[in-house]
Amino acid sequence: MKMNFGAAVVVAGLMGLLSFSFLAAAIASEYWYILEVNKPNGTKSEELSSHTGLWRTCEGNNACIPLVYPFTEDTSKFSDAERYLINMQKVIIVLLPLSLVLLVFGGICGLVSSLARSCPLLVGTGAYLLLCSAITLTGVSVYISYSHMALEEIVRTVGPARMTHVHISFGWSMGLAWLSFSLEVITGVLLFLGARITYLQSRQELAPAISLA
């Protein structure tokens, strides 16, 4: 079953809208990194457990508190490892919101190129959205590396014995970011498909004229 141009661009638009919504929800939520503390008897210690986002961390039943803002923090007294972690945090909070903003412009370009049925514009917008997906992927990948390095630094500071009853995992916010990345790729590919359909249709329309000439 062949997909026509209208179906390709409509599905691309829906995928693009979902990718924007998922990434916005991921950036705004506090469930990127989940830390659960279990007591020796196996019961959960809710007050010691926490979940963290890009901007805030929430501990137990207490209110969420803002994370250190890396661009204004004085790092002169920090160790090299701590400074490196702060630099990674800077990269994360720049790349992911940047990808979100770029998706807005990608949506506008996608709408214009679809209405114009312009093959070059569709190809350009598809490539632009693949660039957005690469930025999202980079931001998420840096966050994963940042989380692992932060955990290693904590273990080094407090000792492995105190981390025995601590379980750490990534939360649904991370899952939304991965979904957004996947949908950005799908959107770009669908726009490439729309460009291909437009190109083939234009060739079919030109073929009778060329044969008559």
Least confident interval from 47-56, 98-107, 124-133, 186-195? 47-56
The whole-model pTM stands at: 0.88
CA distance 96 to 92: 6
pLDDT at 134 over 80: yes
pLDDT digits (tens, 9 = 90+) for 138-161: 999 999 999 999 888 878 877 777
Task: Judge contact between 146 and 85, C-beta under 8 A.
Answer: yes
pLDDT digits (tens, 9 = 90+) for 62-109: 678 888 777 777 777 778 888 888 889 999 999 999 999 999 999 999
pLDDT digits (tens, 9 = 90+) for 160-181: 777 777 788 899 999 999 999 9
Give the N- to C-terminal CA distance of the chain in Å, as an integer: 34
pLDDT band at 1 (very low <50, low <70, confident <90, very high): very low
Q: Where are the alpha helices (DSSP H) in the chain?
A: 5-28, 80-116, 119-158, 172-212
CA distance 194 to 63: 48
Say whether 115 sits in a helix, a strand or coil: helix
CA distance 91 to 182: 21
pLDDT digits (tens, 9 = 90+) for 184-206: 999 999 999 999 999 888 887 76
The reported pLDDT for the residue numbered 211 is 54
Closest by CA to 88, choosing from 50, 25, 133, 141, is 141
pLDDT at 12 over 90: yes
Residue 169's φ and ψ, nearest 5 degrees, are -150, 165
